[in-house]
Amino acid sequence: MRFFLAFLMLLIFYLIIDRKIILSIFKPPWGFVLAALGLSANYTGYSIGISYTTPSNAQVFIQAGPVLLAISGVLIFHEKISIRQAFGYVVAIVGFYLFYSDQNENMVIINKDYFKGVLWVLFGAASWATYAVMQKKLAKDYHPLQLNLFIFGFASLLFLPVADVNSLIGLSTNYKWLILFLGFNTFAAYGGMALALKYAEANKVSILFTSNPIITFLVMTLLASFNVSWIEKENITIVGIIGGLLVLIGAVMVILKRKRKA
């Protein structure tokens, strides 16, 4: 539904702005398909992973995506890696280890499938990196929103055979509004990201994603203060907080590029 609603919004946009773009998605290059498979796998891995863990945990481990994107810059685009970036990898790995160790001790009591959840989120992160690399490459020759139109439509058809469409009929009004919000969120967030990748370097865009865990931690803290019952409370010790901070610091060190001299 998230992909379908996002596709519908973008389809209406192009019906008004440029209908020729709609016809072009019926003969897509192979890169379009690879990007669509990458984002579809990202949604699958993250959705399954977050069912076994908490939002904050998922947001920390999904930071492997921007780090993998930076690694792909070295391996695929032959970008040079500095000593600071190499040290950033080490810091991020140590942070992942500390955070995982802390959460594994706490979460194993609540959910024995916590490790499975982490693996699914990491799979989602690797899939996102694949999507981001293709998005950056294709943005040179195609408009980013044109690529999104294909990705959203392709993913909608890909998930349709395994979707329980009948379950939507019995949903309450609140859940229907929530699904509508998530569809708009997909449309807006990935539309913004696609345009950012077109006009800015991938490394700079990736830095913004390191703010996701911070926002999630703040929101979860706010929800905990309201004692809401519809989401599990976070259980993060000082070791976990240090590990999460190291992940963020390491990711920023990896992604940030050294300023060039004029």
Find where tokens 């349709």 sit: 160
Tokens matching residue 111 = 């959910």
Please tell me the distance from the alpha carbon of residue 230 to that of residue 55, in angstroms, as a whole number.
13
Q: What is the pLDDT of residues 75-93, one digit of tens each?
A: 776 767 778 878 887 888 8
Q: Does residue 258 come out as left (phi exceeding 0), alpha (psi in the -120 to 50 range) or beta?
A: beta
Query: Three-state SS for 214?
Result: helix
Find where tokens 């993998």 sit: 68
Q: What is the pLDDT of residues 200-256, one digit of tens each?
A: 766 666 666 767 777 787 788 788 888 887 777 767 778 878 887 887 888 778 767
Q: Lowest-pLDDT range, 8-17, 41-50, 148-157, 194-203?
A: 194-203
Q: What is the pLDDT of residues 148-183, one digit of tens each?
A: 999 999 999 999 999 888 888 888 999 999 999 999
| pLDDT of amino acid 262 | 44
pTM for the model: 0.77
Taking CA atoms, 14 is separated from 11, 39, 211, in Å, by 5, 21, 31
Please tell me the distance from the alpha carbon of residue 212 to that of residue 223, in angstroms, as a whole number.
16
| pLDDT of amino acid 249 | 86
| pLDDT of amino acid 260 | 53
What SS3 string covers 36-103? HHHHHHHHHHHHHHHHHCCHHHHHHHCCHHHHHHHHHHHHCCCCCCCHHHHHHHHHHHHHHHHHHHHH
